[in-house]
């Protein structure tokens, strides 16, 4: 009899545990229990957010077709596609900022090149508490250090982003990473384990004990014991990632890779069950064959480890040695650990012992979902009816301007972006600081793409629906101001505890605003991420639906930057120019 304390500590409630027993027709093993716990966490299963995310038409279509992939793809013509994705690494960065931020970069890059795309750029959106706090300064310095270390070492340009400071992020910083790649549309790779009898290849770094239950850690609020969760934070190796990028793209070029997926959140558990379920197949693996860097690891630890720089590949039978040789050439592990079956079940063996045997779809498609209660927070009516007409006009506008320019959220971020190599790969034509969007020329063409990330969380606090729309509109303006036509959106939806009605209301209204704005502008949401439980015992973060957007310039030479060009040029204010101070930095200082 499993003690309820065990599964509750893993993140399962009583009803979910009962569903596990009903599905299996018996009491689960410890390994099975751990697999269900991570896959049914909000971080992996989206059990609270999935019903709301169906408001995004592209997501709904992909869900209905069983075609959700690691990242989204948008056609840019001439047989090329842009692959893009944004994800969060908030909780890991709160307890181990350097590695938390670094592995956030590594994980988002793997989502790109597992699609067969070559990554060409990274952006980030960062939120911290106020800089008068020593802990905030420590987090800020080490998050930036982790991003720059990983991206610079892997040879990936960090070309843009945003940084925002507000007391609500004290103790719970937001670290959102966005990556973009280019892929021939006829060579997009899928994460489906097709073909009974096809071998399953483990590639990349060896498995250790780092990151175990990292997905579960990301699905709870931060509290006083969060520092003890450091073992839940993964450790990154950017040099291994660089080898993995090149080896994976070369292996895909052989045409012998049937399916491939990154071992990200939930590690081997996620990659085995998701690839099998997507193809309607099963899979059998032997964890004894998994390369391990620590002695005495149990099946539970191996299946739940979130060690970095690892992939699972399904290979056409008979060609596993050819594909493995590609990875070996790059100095990487490549070991056959199992095969695809037609049983629909994921079987985890430990030598001759069966450690777990579960229906693949029960871990993915059958993850329970919930329609949570939502109610408008009490503060909304108060802030939306606030009368600002009594505010006095400043006596010295120059002094006001200087004070605003000195605030950390507005002041120059040169100290940050000077740590990033923005020119590596030599495609960046508009650098950080030169415009509110980055521009990268596409090799072999005259075209360029523009990239931006945007969100004003104060607007979203005052009105999540309108604030989310403003974030989409700002991103589109930033792209148009460099000469690009906006094409598509990836998002990272950062919110507080969804199990509190006011927190879930903020989330739902923001998604409604994003969906409506993207529909109006013709910029579909093609990928994204949800990060809940961003709060501490003291406070919740401001609702922060970060928008990443890509646009296309037919002619890279016609890009535009923001600086004044020539004396005598005219300056125009475009738009209706309605004055409003709501949600402004001015009111906060």
pLDDT score recorded for residue 389: 83
Answer yes or no: are the C-beta atoms of 74 and 181 closer than 8 Å.
Answer: no
pLDDT score recorded for residue 455: 98
- Among residues 5, 89, 91, 213, the one annotated as catalytic is 89
- Give the angle subtended at the CA of 166 by the CAs of 160 and 170, to the nearest 5°: 105
- Among residues 5, 43, 213, 328, the one annotated as catalytic is 43
Calpha distance 147→555 (Å, rounded): 31
Known catalytic membership, residue 149 = no
Known catalytic membership, residue 390 = no
Distance between start and end Cα atoms, the chain: 59
- Could you count the other beta carbons within 10 Å of the beta carbon of residue 382? 9
Of 414, 497, 444, 202, which is closest to residue 328 (Cα–Cα)?
202
pLDDT score recorded for residue 388: 85
Calpha distance 446→64 (Å, rounded): 37
Instruction: Say if domain 62-188+371-588 classifies as CATH 3.90.1200.10.
Output: no
List, in sequence order, every residue forming a beta bridge with 83; answer none if it has no partner. 73, 181
Cα 79 to its chain centre, rounded Å, is 26
Task: Return the CATH superfamily for domain 4-40+189-363.
Answer: PurM-like C-terminal domain (3.90.650.10)
pLDDT score recorded for residue 226: 52
Calpha distance 280→230 (Å, rounded): 36
- Phi/psi of residue 529, each to 5°? -160, 150
**Residue ranges of domains in the chain:** 4-40+189-363, 62-188+371-588
Per-residue pLDDT of the chain (589 residues; tens, 9 = 90+): 789 999 999 999 999 999 999 999 999 999 999 999 999 999 999 999 999 999 998 888 877 776 678 899 999 999 999 999 999 999 999 999 999 999 999 999 999 999 999 999 999 999 999 999 999 999 999 999 999 999 999 999 999 999 999 999 999 999 999 999 999 999 999 999 999 999 999 999 999 998 786 555 555 556 555 554 455 577 899 999 999 999 999 999 999 999 999 998 899 999 999 999 999 999 999 999 999 999 999 999 999 999 999 999 999 999 999 999 999 999 999 999 999 999 999 999 999 999 999 999 999 999 999 999 999 999 999 998 888 888 899 999 999 999 999 999 999 999 999 999 999 999 999 999 999 999 999 999 999 999 999 999 999 999 999 999 999 999 999 999 999 999 999 999 999 999 999 999 999 999 999 999 999 999 999 999 999 999 999 999 999 999 999 999 999 999 999 999 999 999 998 888 777 888 999 998 8
Of 298, 238, 226, 230, which is closest to residue 268 (Cα–Cα)?
298
Calpha distance 225→218 (Å, rounded): 14
> How would you classify residue 583: left for phi > 0, otherwise alpha for psi between -120 and 50, otherwise beta?
left
Give pLDDT tens digits for 244-269.
Answer: 999 999 999 999 999 999 998 899 99
For residue 328 the two structure tokens come to 């070996």
């Amino acid at each position: 009899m499993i003690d309820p304390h065990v599964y509750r500590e893993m993140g399962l409630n009583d009803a979910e545990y009962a569903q596990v027993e009903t599905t299996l027709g018996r009491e689960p093993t410890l390994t099975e229990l751990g697999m269900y716990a991570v896959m049914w966490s909000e971080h992996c299963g989206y059990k609270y957010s999935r019903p709301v995310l169906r408001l995004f038409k592209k997501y709904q279509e992909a869900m209905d077709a069983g075609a959700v992939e690691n990242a989204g793809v948008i056609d840019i013509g001439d047989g090329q596609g842009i692959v893009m994705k944004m994800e969060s690494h908030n909780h890991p960065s709160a307890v181990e900022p350097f590695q938390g931020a670094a592995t956030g970069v590594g994980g988002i890059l793997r989502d790109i090149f597992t699609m067969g795309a070559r990554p060409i750029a990274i952006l980030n959106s960062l939120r911290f508490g106020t800089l008068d706090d020593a802990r905030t300064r420590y987090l800020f310095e080490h998050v930036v250090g982790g991003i720059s270390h990983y991206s610079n070492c892997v040879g990936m340009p960090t070309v843009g982003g945003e940084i925002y400071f507000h007391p609500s992020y004290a103790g719970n910083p937001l670290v959102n990473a966005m990556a973009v790649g280019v892929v021939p549309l006829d060579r997009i790779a899928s994460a489906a384990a097709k073909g009974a009898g096809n071998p399953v290849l483990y590639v990349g770094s060896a498995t250790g004990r780092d990151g175990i239950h990292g997905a579960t850690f990301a699905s709870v609020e931060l509290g006083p014991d969060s520092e003890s969760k450091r073992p839940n934070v993964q450790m990154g190796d950017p040099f291994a990632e660089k080898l993995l990028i090149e080896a994976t793209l070369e292996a895909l070029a052989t045409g012998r890779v049937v399916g491939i997926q990154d071992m990200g959140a939930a590690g081997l558990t996620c990659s085995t069950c998701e690839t099998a379920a997507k193809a309607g197949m099963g899979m059998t693996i032997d964890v004894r064959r998994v390369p391990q860097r620590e002695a005495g690891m149990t099946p539970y630890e191996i299946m739940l480890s979130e060690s970095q720089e690892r992939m699972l590949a399904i290979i056409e039978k008979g060609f596993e040695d050819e594909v493995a040789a590609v990875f070996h050439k790059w100095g990487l592990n490549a070991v056959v650990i199992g095969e695809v079956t037609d049983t629909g079940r994921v079987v985890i063996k430990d030598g001759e012992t069966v450690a777990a045997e579960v229906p693949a779809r029960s871990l993915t498609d059958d993850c329970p979902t919930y329609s949570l209660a939502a109610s408008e927070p009490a503060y909304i009516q108060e802030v939306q009816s606030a009368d600002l007409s009594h505010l006095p006009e400043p006596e010295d506008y120059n002094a006001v301007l200087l004070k605003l320019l000195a605030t950390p959220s507005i002041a120059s971020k040169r100290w940050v972006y000077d740590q990033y190599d923005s020119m590596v790969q030599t495609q960046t034509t508009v650098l950080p600081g030169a415009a509110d969007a980055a521009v990268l020329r596409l090799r072999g063409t005259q075209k360029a793409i523009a990239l931006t990330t945007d969100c004003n969380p104060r607007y979203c606090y005052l009105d999540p629906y309108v604030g989310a729309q403003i974030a989409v509109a700002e991103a589109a303006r930033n792209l148009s101001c460099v000469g690009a036509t906006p094409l598509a959106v990836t998002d990272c939806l950062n919110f507080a505890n969804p199990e509190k009605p006011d927190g879930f209301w903020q989330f739902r209204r923001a998604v409604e605003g994003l969906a409506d704005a993207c529909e109006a502008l013709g910029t579909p949401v093609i990928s994204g991420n949800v990060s809940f439980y961003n709060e501490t015992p003291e406070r919740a973060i401001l609702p922060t639906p970060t928008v990443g957007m890509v646009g296309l310039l037919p002619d890279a030479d016609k890009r535009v930057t923001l600086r004044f060009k020539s004396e005598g040029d005219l300056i125009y204010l475009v738009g209706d120019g309605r004055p409003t101070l709501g949600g402004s930095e001015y009111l906060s200082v």
